[in-house]
Amino acid sequence: MTDIADRAAEREEELIGDALDEHRRHDPTAGKTEADSAKWCDGCGQRVPDARRKAVPGVRLCVDCQNEAARVEAAAKRNGRHA
């Protein structure tokens, strides 16, 4: 017979698993490697530095374009729109 602490621990494990699954669905770099990273920025066409390609597997934008994309997305969220 399980007690309330056992049931709480099982439920916590389920919730953590669900949260990790949700994160993986929304993380565009999940499961990516350096080989999946763009050598050239999709935004401006400049070369993406190798250090960035290694640090952010699956990266598609240079730092400047990523910062601009984040700024636009944040502004859209503040205004109740999607970027």
pTM of the entire predicted model:
0.58
Look at residues 66, 44, 69, 70 and name the one whose alpha carbon lies nearest to residue 56. 66
Extract the runs of DSSP E, i.e. beta strands, from 1-83.
Answer: none
pLDDT surpasses 90 at 62: yes
Residue ranges per domain, the chain? 1-30, 33-83
Rounded distance between C-alpha atoms, residue 30 and residue 24, angstroms: 6
Q: Which two tokens stand for residue 56?
A: 């952010």
pLDDT tens-digit series, residues 10-52? 899 998 888 877 776 776 666 677 788 999 999 999 999 999 9
- Name the helix (H) or strand (E) containing 55: helix 50-55
